[in-house]
């Protein structure tokens, strides 16, 4: 045995299990090959085999319809970048660590705990620092629906944006994109229309009829998840008519398992005819990423909203008569009150009240057309112009009656519930302070939580970086009760005391720290004004 042979057996012994597997595999393959060969040579010499030879088909895949649709639609799908300035809800007045930052009872902690991440303003993330206002940059998608540069996307992609930029498919990744103008938005459907100015026609996508889609139909989602442009994912229609947000009459979605992630928002959901049958809007997840359940606003709704947003008023006007009813049909209610839409509440001063409708009335028809569910009634009334009239047929105590009602503007009738007035009224405008902070009135709810008498103290709303307030240790969320022994019961009190102080004077704040309660006591924070 020479040295090479000895070395081989040494290695084999050291790795006997690995070599055993290799040898067994080799023997197995050898046996199989031997079997094939032996069968191939058996039989009479020259006898023709009965087996049909196998052939390789032409290079056409069954799934090439996906690639065809992708090539057709991708030029119409755009990447949307937005920039906006937002107030940092986690703003801290001091750069040093502060254990009070995560204390319980913090007014700023308003997490909703909902699993429907990425809905409205949660579908994509921004970037910014911890101090002062945040310069937020966000990513989303959109689809060109008019060669003149009109693009449909989600409201949450572009709302509150200071600047909207659109990047087309054939543009360089380094291209800054095109500035877009906001045409209009609709809160109830989370849809928006933007427009870019171009010197040539753009490739517009064709919209399809979402009512024609069935559960199990193939669909493609196209967009820019995580900023990755021209991404295509495939899935099926998992369900139709999904209502995922309570009390949203016009948010009935197509559910799909096509992968949708942050950045897909506003992009199209496409059928196998290459038609847009939905705008991707939300996902159901506990991780902020794809979990197999996504939602798209049906194209039929998109068309209705788009046609109003491009109109002279650039807003969606929906009719309403001012009634409420059970969101889900209940057989027990129908057995007691009759089939139709039974009124559970009549809004004070509404057209329904003026027309004489009462709680317990069951509406069965509008202008002679039967309505069997609340959705049918809402769809009919919402499609009518405010100021127009309709004849309602209803039953009261099993007696058939009729009345005429004037349609009102839904957004005005339910303004407080839709949040359209709250956007302007809920937040007090912070008043500037020479201390380098702003304060606001304490809400009754916060006063109750902190066990502070109503009308006492003010809440620190913002602390300017590098200011006197930051130097003495004041933080957002702290409650200021006194300044230099003088009670502070309103922002005006605070401003008057602050205005009376001059450079070189001392300022002593009696403070209930952020998140603390009555039993935790108060502290003094003090310094000399620069």
207-242: pLDDT as tens digits:
999 999 999 999 999 988 887 888 999 999 999 988
Task: Spell out the residues 6+ positions from residue 488 whose beta carbon is closer than 8 angstroms to its own.
Answer: 457, 458, 480, 481, 482, 494, 497
The pLDDT tens digits of the residues spanning 164-191 come to 999 998 887 778 889 999 999 998 889 9
| Pairwise CA distance, residues 464 & 441, whole Å | 19
More confident residue, 452 or 9: 452
Q: Are 108 and 477 in contact (CB under 8 A)?
A: yes
Give the integer Cα–Cα distance in Å for 262 and 239: 21
Most confident by average pLDDT, 131-145, 306-320, 432-446: 306-320
Instruction: Name the catalytic one among 210, 238, 265, 433.
Output: 265
Between 21 and 523, where is the model more confident? 523
Question: Above 70 in pLDDT, residue 127?
Answer: no
What is the predicted pLDDT for the residue at 57? Answer: 73
How confident is residue 433, by pLDDT bands cut at 50, 70 and 90? low
CB 140 within 8 A of CB 120: no
Residue 380 annotated in active site: no
| DSSP string for residues in 369-387 | EE--SHHHHHHHHHTSPTT
In the predicted model, what is the mean pLDDT of residues 484-504?
90
E strands in 69-225: 77-87, 133-146, 150-154, 163-167, 178-186, 191-196, 218-223
Residue 431, pLDDT > 70, answer: no
Position 136 confidence tier, pLDDT thresholds 50, 70, 90: low
Phi, psi of 358 (to 5 degrees): -135, 160
**pLDDT at 423 (0 to 100):** 43
Q: What is the fold, at CATH topology level, of the domain defined by 319-416?
A: Pdz3 Domain (2.30.42)
312-340 pLDDT, tens digit per residue, is 889 888 899 999 888 777 888 888 888 89
Q: Say if CB 303 and CB 146 are below 8 A apart.
A: no
C-alpha 220/C-alpha 69 separation (Å) is: 9
* Per-residue b or e along 195-216, where b marks 16 or more CB atoms closer than 10 Å to that residue's CB: bbeeeeebebbebbebeebeee
Q: Which of 118, 186, 190, 462 is catalytic?
A: 190
178 counts as catalytic: no
Residue with tokens 């659109």: 166
Would you say residue 58 has pLDDT above 80?
Answer: no
Mean pLDDT throughout 289-302? 88
Q: Of 118, 156, 238, 478, which one is the catalytic site residue?
A: 156
Asked whether residue 298 carries a pLDDT value surpassing 80, the answer given is yes
Band (pLDDT 50/70/90 cuts) for residue 198 is very high
CATH architecture of 75-96+113-316: Beta Barrel (2.40)
**Rounded Cα distance, 4 and 2, in Å:** 6
Mean pLDDT of 488-495: 89
Q: Report the C-alpha gap between 428 and 183 in whole angstroms.
A: 28
Q: Which CATH superfamily is domain 437-528 in?
A: PDZ domain (2.30.42.10)
pLDDT at 134: 57
Vertex 41, ends 36 and 44: CA angle to 5°?
Answer: 140
428: tokens are 């007090």
Q: What is the pLDDT of residue 267?
A: 92
Please give the model's pTM, rounded to 2 decimal places. 0.58
Question: Which stretches does DSSP call E strand in 3-131?
Answer: 77-87
pLDDT tens-digit readout, 63-88: 688 888 999 999 999 999 988 766 55
Q: Is residue 233 a contact partner of residue 244, using CB atoms and an 8 Å limit?
A: no
Rounded to an integer, what distance in angstroms lies between the CA atom of residue 437 and that of residue 494? 11
Share of the chain above pLDDT 70, in %: 74
Q: Which structure tokens are listed for 209?
A: 């009829």
Average pLDDT over residues 99-105: 30
| Per-domain residue ranges of the chain | 3-34, 75-96+113-316, 319-416, 437-528
Mean pLDDT of 369-381: 87
Q: Which residue has the tokens 């839904």?
A: 410
Both tokens of 388, joined, read 């127009």
Residue 107 has pLDDT above 60, yes or no: no
Could you write out the DSSP letters of every residue in 268-316?
EEE-TTS-EEEEEEEE-BSSSS--S-EEEEEHHHHHHHHHHHTSTT-S-
- pLDDT (0 to 100) of residue 418: 54
Q: Give the best-scoring range by mean pLDDT among 408-417, 422-431, 514-523.
A: 408-417
CA angle, corner 305, sides to 300 and 309, nearest 5? Answer: 150
Rounded Cα distance, 124 and 159, in Å: 13
* Residue 223 near residue 248, CB atoms below 8 Å: no
What confidence category does residue 3 fall into, taking pLDDT thresholds of 50, 70 and 90? very low
Measure the CA–CA gap between 153 and 196, rounded to whole angstroms: 13
314 included as an active-site residue: no
pLDDT band of 521, cuts 50, 70, 90: confident
Do the two domains 75-96+113-316 and 437-528 of this chain adopt the same fold? no
Q: Which of 30-44, 266-280, 347-361, 365-379 bottoms out in mean pLDDT, i.e. has the lowest?
A: 30-44
What average pLDDT does this structure show over 471-475?
A: 89
Indicate if the pLDDT at residue 245 is higher than 70: no
């Amino acid at each position: 045995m020479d040295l090479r042979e000895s070395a081989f057996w040494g290695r084999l012994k050291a790795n006997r299990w690995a070599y055993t597997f290799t040898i067994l595999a080799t023997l197995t393959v050898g046996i199989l090959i031997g079997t094939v060969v032996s069968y191939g040579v058996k039989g009479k010499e020259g006898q023709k085999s009965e087996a049909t030879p196998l052939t390789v088909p032409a290079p056409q895949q069954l799934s090439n319809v996906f690639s065809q649709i992708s090539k057709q639609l991708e030029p119409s799908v755009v990447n949307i970048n937005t920039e906006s300035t937002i107030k940092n809800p986690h703003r801290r007045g001091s750069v040093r660590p502060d254990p009070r930052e995560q204390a319980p009872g913090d007014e700023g902690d308003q997490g909703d705990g909902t699993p429907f991440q990425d809905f409205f303003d949660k579908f994509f993330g921004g970037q910014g620092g911890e101090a002062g206002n945040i310069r937020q940059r966000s990513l989303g998608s959109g689809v060109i629906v008019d060669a003149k540069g009109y693009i449909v996307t989600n409201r949450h992609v572009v709302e509150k944006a200071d600047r909207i930029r659109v990047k087309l498919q054939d543009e360089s990744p380094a291209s800054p994109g095109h500035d877009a103008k906001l045409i209009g938005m609709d809160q109830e459907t989370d849809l928006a229309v933007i427009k870019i100015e171009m010197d040539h026609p753009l490739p517009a996508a064709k919209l399809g009829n979402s009512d024609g889609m069935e559960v199990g139909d193939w669909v493609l989602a196209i967009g820019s998840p995580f900023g990755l442009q021209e991404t295509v994912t495939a899935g099926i229609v998992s369900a139709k008519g999904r209502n995922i947000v309570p009390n949203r009459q016009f948010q009935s979605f197509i559910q799909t398992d096509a992968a949708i992630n942050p950045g897909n928002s506003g992009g199209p959901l496409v059928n196998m005819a290459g038609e847009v049958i939905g705008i991707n809007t939300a996902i159901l997840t506990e991780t902020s990423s794809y979990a197999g359940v996504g939602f798209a606003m049906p194209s039929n709704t998109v068309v209705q909203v788009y046609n109003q947003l491009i109109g002279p008023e650039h807003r969606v006007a929906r009719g309403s008569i001012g009634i409420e009813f059970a969101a889900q049909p209940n057989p027990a209610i129908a057995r007691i009150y009759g089939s139709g839409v039974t009124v559970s509440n009549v809004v004070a001063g509404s057209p329904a009240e003026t027309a004489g409708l009462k709680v317990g009335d069951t509406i069965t028809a509008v202008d002679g057309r039967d309505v069997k569910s609340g959705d049918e009634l809402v769809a009919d009334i919402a499609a009518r112009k405010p100021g127009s009239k309709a004849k309602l047929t209803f039953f009261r105590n099993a007696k058939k009656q009729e009345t005429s009602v004037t349609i009102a503007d839904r957004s005005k009738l339910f303004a407080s519930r839709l949040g359209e007035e709250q956007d302007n009224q809920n937040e007090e405008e912070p008043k500037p302070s020479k201390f380098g902070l702003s304060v606001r009135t304490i809400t009754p709810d916060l006063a109750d939580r902190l066990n502070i008498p109503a009308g006492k103290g003010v809440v620190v709303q913002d602390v300017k970086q590098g200011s006197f307030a930051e130097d003495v240790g004041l933080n957002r969320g702290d409650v200021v009760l006194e300044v230099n022994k003088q009670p502070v019961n309103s922002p005006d009190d605070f401003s008057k005391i602050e205005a009376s102080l001059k450079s070189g004077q001392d300022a002593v704040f009696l403070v209930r720290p952020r998140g603390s309660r009555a039993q935790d006591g108060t502290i003094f924070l003090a310094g000399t004004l620069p």
